Structure 1
Amino acid sequence: MRRRNPYCTEQPGRYPVTPELLALADQAVAHLWNERRAERDLPPAEDRSGSCKFAALLARELFGGRIAGNLEHVFVLREGEVLDLNRHQRDVAELGSSAHQVCDYTLSHRQYIFSLSTCEPRVMRWVSWVDEQLNTLQHDQSPAAACA
């Protein structure tokens, strides 16, 4: 059964897309993915193949946009442009140009929506981690911090 997927609705982001913030988001996904691997008794991995749902949900929360994708991969569409925190991962590279094809029908299935919702608590913990990292950076760069 198909129904409207709330993740496919455009939402505003918390932060602008900058190289520095993209790097911080990449760090968050790496931590998040290795945390999940540890829970499954798997060793840490440099490659994040298979983590696209987490990466897309994190990117959407941080930078805005909507979840888009196909049977093989999900990512964010933001202002008509692809934002994919997993763009350099092996599984995305293997998909080639088909990685960013959009098939909203796939994402509207009840089971898929449920699967995305189960990722939310972990993603929101890592959104908080990004917020904390940014607050620390801003505090460390403030004039008051320089005088301390």
Structure 2
Amino acid sequence: MNSNRSSREALFREDEISLQWMTSETVGLFAATNEQIAIARHVLFDGWRKRAFERDEAPPADLAGACKFASLFFKIAFGGRIEGAHEHQFNVLKDRTIDLSNQQQFRGVGHDESFFGNEEHLDSMRSCLPRVLIWISALDALLSRRIWSSIHVGYGIEHPRRDRSAEYEWTAEVQAMFSPRYRVLRDALMANGFEYTVIGSSLCFRRAGVNVWYQCGSPPTQRTLDLLRPYSQFTLKTEKTCHEVISDRLHRSTDEVLSQILAAFEVQAQALLEPA
């Protein structure tokens, strides 16, 4: 996979970690139910212990020193914003303070605007991202398959009960955020020469032999299948090429998503011109 395609398919990029992003209320990938936050804490602790092993350090007994990793992990997973000071940082989600690293000695630490988001701090946060994205993938796998008994048995901590209603309400709320963005992207694709058509129940945009299929979540159907996850994506494919998926990300502008679709289109269209 080339670097441009890797960038287009990236869930999150280092350059997207900014003071504005950290301190703005954003939407995460998963519903922030008590159960799923508890699962995330187990994933974090497991990843923190693996990090210590890789660095030839003693296994940590807790998440001391993990606050930058923990707050970045939580924000990408569940949204909200990050606050803190030099000593410690934490998450705030709808006015609820959450410290995924569970460091009680720092309770009461406020938000230091003179420290938070300076270049040294941003560089430190960005350095955490590659490992955090591995943990996000691990969390996604657990929540998608609904299997985590080995984790909570291993650490001996009882999990909160699953709140399916909250998961559904959050999924429906976030899925609705994609609808106006899709209309903007649809109109922009048509303005860029794509023909809009409906094939069966699928929406498709066509130009120069490239099909761009649109797919999105349907919370009522997903609730029946126990696959609640909001999403909005465009899949590009020709008869000669492998498909490429461009996901709409709420933390990115529709202009950037459109640029990613058009860049992927150029690659696919060029492949059609090459001899077999």
The TM-score normalised by the length of structure 1 is 0.80
Q: Which runs of 4+ in 1 moved over 3 A?
A: none
Counterpart AA for 2:56: D
Larger Cα-atom Rg:
2
Query: How far apart are 1:93 and its partner, in Å?
Result: 2.2
1:63 and 1:119 map into 2 onto residues whose CA distance is 17
Counterpart AA for 1:52: C
Partner of 1:93: 104
Identity %: 30
**Which of 4, 22, 27 is matched with 1:12 structurally?**
27
**Which of 96, 115, 127 is matched with 2:124 structurally?**
115
Query: How far apart are 1:43 and its partner, in Å?
Result: 2.1
Partner of 1:135: 144
Partner of 2:88: 73
Cα deviation digits, residues 46-99 of structure 1 (max 9, x gap)? 211000011101110111011110111111111122121122xxxx3223423x
Instruction: Identify if the C-alpha distance between structure 1 residues 19 and 81 changes in structure 2 by more than 3 Å, giving closer, same or farther.
Output: closer
Indicate the RMSD between aligned Cα atoms, in angstroms.
2.1
Query: How far apart are 1:109 and its partner, in Å?
Result: 0.9
Residues matched between the structures, number: 132
Query: How far apart are 1:9 and its partner, in Å?
Result: 2.6
Gap regions ≥5 residues in structure 2: 1-17, 148-223, 226-276
1:114 and 1:137 map into 2 onto residues whose CA distance is 35
Partner of 2:42: 27
Query: How far apart are 1:106 and its partner, in Å?
Result: 1.1
Which segment drifts farther, 47-56 or 14-23? 14-23
2:137 and 2:113 map into 1 onto residues whose CA distance is 29
Counterpart AA for 1:78: L
Counterpart AA for 1:28: V
The TM-score normalised by the length of structure 2 is 0.45
Higher relative contact order (CA 8 A, sep 6+): 1
Cα deviation digits, residues 18-40 of structure 1 (max 9, x gap)? 22101111111101211211122
